[in-house]
Amino acid sequence: MNNALLSSERQQYIKNQNKYIKQAAVFFACTPIVTIAFFAGIFFYIIPDKSQIYNLLLAISVAEILAFYFSYRVLKKKIQNQQELLAQMADTDFQQLLNTQKYLFPLMKYNPPFVFCRDKLYLFPLFKIKEINPTTIKQLSWRYYNRQKRGMTFIKTPNTTDVAKMTKELYLHFASIIKHYNPSVQIET
């Protein structure tokens, strides 16, 4: 993608996304270090045979580093996919993306669960982009699953039911966008 051809507002958005990836990488890198230090302190205090501690710490370290690497790669791929769509977006799609940011947690500001581009809805499961024609969506529903106001949004089309995590406020915003594309969609609140 050639960033020089994009508007300054889109270039700034991409710059902020790249900064977001770096901040997430620091977070993902610090989490294993803190976890390993915590377990090291507990193991040195509880286990009398210190030779076993090193094997336990090695196993925990490997698991933590693999989890870090996996999380970072998934996030980086998701952001790259979003940036490819960003280059193809109409100005109205980009404004809608910026408007969607108001409904996201600050930590998720540059990592939305959905993007609209050229009259298509794009969801971002782990390793791929899921493209949906919003006019084919028959039903939307939201199910609460934890105390932090997060839930699962179920997007039912004639062939599949897709799922995206989002807050109730973001779901209501998402539902209003879908209603624009498909006035006959059934929306459960």
The pLDDT tens digits of the residues spanning 7-25 come to: 888 899 989 888 888 887 7
Q: Quick one: which of 72, 43, 70 has its CA closest to 59?
A: 43
In a shared domain, residues 94 and 176: yes
Number of domains in the chain: 2
What are the tens digits of pLDDT across the range 85-140? 999 999 999 999 999 999 988 878 888 999 999 999 999 887 788 999 999 999 99
| Whether the predicted pLDDT of 81 surpasses 80 | yes
Locus of tokens 């609460």: 144
Q: In the chain, where do the E strands start and end?
A: 114-117, 120-123, 130-132, 139-144, 150-156, 161-167, 186-187
In which domain, by residue range, is 38 found?
Answer: 1-88
Q: Quick one: which of 172, 1, 148 has its CA closest to 82?
A: 1
pLDDT at 121: 96
Domain final position from 66, 88, 110: 88
Most confident residue range from 29-33, 79-83, 141-145, 182-186: 182-186
Residue 132's CATH number: 2.30.29.30
DSSP state of 160: -
Amino acid at 146: N
Exposed e or buried b for every residue in 102-116, given b needs 16+ CB within 10 A?
A: ebbeeebebbbbbbb
Q: Rounded to the nearest 5°, which phi and psi values hold at 27?
A: -60, -50
Domain final position from 88, 113, 145: 88
Average pLDDT of the residues in 62-82 = 86
Given pLDDT bands bounded at 50, 70 and 90, which one contains residue 4?
Answer: low
Average predicted confidence (pLDDT) for the chain = 86
Q: Quick one: which of 166, 183, 187 has its CA closest to 175?
A: 187
Burial of 79 (0-12, 13-18, 19+ CB in 10 A): buried
